[in-house]
Amino acid sequence: MAEKDQSNTDRISKRAHTKTRARAGRNKDLEAKNWAKEWGEAILWALVAAVIIRAFFFGAYRIPTPSMENTLMTGDFLLVSKVHYGARTPQSVGIPFTGVHIPNLRLPSFRLPGFMDVRRDDIVVFNYPIDDGIPARKTNYIKRAVGIPGDTLAINDKVLFVNHASARVFDTYQFIYEINPVENVRLSNERLRNAGATLLGTRGAQASRVFAHLTEQNAATINSWPEVASVSKYINPNLSHNSGSPFRFSAGLGASNTDQMPQIVVPFQGQVIDLDPSNINLYHDLIVRYEGNHLELRNNRIFINGVEREQYTVQRDYYFMMGDNRDNSEDSRSWGFVPDDHIVGRAWVIYFSLDGAAPRTNRIFKLIH
């Protein structure tokens, strides 16, 4: 009888142990599921937060070309503020961080309130205007806003005039300079590079005339060398204001010489433009590409949406952008005005910088002016 009771006790104990192990296994499974759920939710919320921050607050960009040197260097990594000018609401539908979007679907979009307007001389990220498609899906460019809506601009021998006064020149601006040594002297390329010159080439007898991108300060330093006869900005002689060739923007027909530009007004909302065949190229992209009209030129008469017009009322504000490396920048001098709905944000801070593979420690966390 005792043996039977012991056997029953053993069976009960085994069943209890089995239940305990099963309960422990279920608890572990439950803990694993809870852990996976918590991490999944955390990752999901992190992605949502990243999408919101990227869409409405800040974007990260890398400088790929030297068009803004020496203000921004190739290899600089930037944070761009979208809150300064106000973020745009989404213009398309797609999968975040993939670049995959529903083609040709443009959502109604508007700009949220910002705490400032684009100011003259701000460094601005914008969508390349003459790309096709939805603005937010176009290539990102970065330039300086040298002209804001209503400004009168002109360029004479590389000098930019804004509202009939010469524009501010920052000490980081670069231009092409011609460096002439004294007779029978050949300048050291290494010494020129150490003085900040980006060498372009040579001309003249024994390749004595050197051409290089320089800031004004670096040009003054080189000009002080005893072996240098002169240092002067190189002015393109191929086109002048009196050449009879009108300044044109549309269809890639920009200025063949960016050292000169006749006087123009940066278009603004409500501006009434007098149209004629001599200026229609200047406003073609504005009327057709950015404001959605159909334009025809028939026997020197202008038709917009089938109606003959001698005037046009501008529907939005525009900006004129130029690179700080003035002779190595494709900008508004070539392709024209930037519509306000193409503005992405204000360049704010350099958070990292690489010169090839080496970090530029002196540029990390540098505010952009």
Tell me what the mean pLDDT of segment 257-272 comes to. 91
Tell me what the mean pLDDT of segment 249-274 comes to. 80
Lowest mean per-residue pLDDT among 19-33, 149-163, 172-186: 19-33
pLDDT of residue 288: 94
Radius of gyration of the chain (CA): 31
Of 15 and 274, the one with more pLDDT: 274
| Confidence category of residue 318, pLDDT binned at 50, 70, 90 | very high
In SS3 terms, the chain reads as CHHHHHHHHHHHHHHHHHHHHHHHHHHHHHHHHHHHHHHHHHHHHHHHHHHHHHHHCEEEEECCCCCCCCCCCCCEEEEEECCCCCCECCCCCEECCCCEECCCCCCCCCECCCCCCCCCCCEEEEECCCCCCCHHHCCEEEEEEEECCCCEEEEECCEEEECCEECCCCCCCEEEEEEEECCCCCCCHHHHHHCCCEEEEEECHHHCEEEEEECHHHHHHHHCCCCEEEEEECCCCCCCCCCCCCCCCHHHCCCCCCCCEEEEECCCCCCEEECCCCCHHHHHHHHHHHCCCCEEEECCEEEECCEECCEEECCCCEEEEECCECCCCCCHHHHCCEEHHHEEEEEEEEEEEEECCEECHHHCCEECC
| Confidence category of residue 257, pLDDT binned at 50, 70, 90 | confident
pLDDT at 15 over 90: no
| Confidence category of residue 33, pLDDT binned at 50, 70, 90 | low
pLDDT at 205 over 80: no
Percent of the chain residues topping a pLDDT of 90: 59
pLDDT of residue 238: 55
Q: How many CA atoms lie within 13 A of 31 on its CB side?
A: 6
pLDDT at 155 over 50: yes
φ and ψ at 364, to 5 degrees? -70, 130
Supply the mean pLDDT for the chain: 85
| Confidence category of residue 253, pLDDT binned at 50, 70, 90 | very low
> For residue 171, what are its two tokens?
């000490």
What does the chain come to in residues? Answer: 369
| Confidence category of residue 242, pLDDT binned at 50, 70, 90 | very low
Angle at alpha carbon of residue 197, lines to 196 and 199, rounded to 5°:
155
pLDDT at 87 over 80: yes
Kind of pairing, strands 301-304 and 165-166? Answer: unpaired
Fold of 57-158+238-269+316-367: Umud Fragment, subunit A (2.10.109)
pLDDT of residue 63: 94
Torsion of the alpha carbons at 114, 118, 119 and 122, rounded to the nearest 10: 110
String of b and e for 184-198 (b: at least 16 CB within 10 Å)?
eeebeeeebeeebbb
CA atoms of 1 and 7, how far apart (whole Å): 10
CA atoms of 276 and 312, how far apart (whole Å): 11
pLDDT of residue 184: 84
pLDDT at 103 over 70: yes
pLDDT of residue 260: 86
pLDDT tens per residue across span 36-52: 777 776 776 666 666 66
pLDDT at 323 over 50: yes
Tell me what the mean pLDDT of segment 205-219 comes to. 89
φ and ψ at 289, to 5 degrees? -75, -45
| Confidence category of residue 343, pLDDT binned at 50, 70, 90 | very high
pLDDT of residue 241: 43
pLDDT of residue 152: 97
Strands ordered across the beta sheet of 159-162: 165-166, 159-162, 152-156, 261-265
Nearest residue to 247 via CA among 174, 155, 171? 155
Tell me what the mean pLDDT of segment 219-233 comes to. 95
> For residue 368, what are its two tokens?
């952009």
Nearest residue to 319 via CA among 162, 157, 84? 162
pLDDT of residue 128: 95
Tell me what the mean pLDDT of segment 339-357 comes to. 94
The domain made up of 175-233 is a member of CATH 3.90.1070.10: no
Tell me how far apart the terminal alpha carbons of the chain are, to the nearest angstrom: 96
| Confidence category of residue 20, pLDDT binned at 50, 70, 90 | low
Tell me what the mean pLDDT of segment 23-34 comes to. 65
pLDDT at 303 over 90: yes
Lowest mean per-residue pLDDT among 151-165, 168-182, 195-209, 301-315: 195-209
pLDDT of residue 1: 53
pLDDT at 17 over 70: no
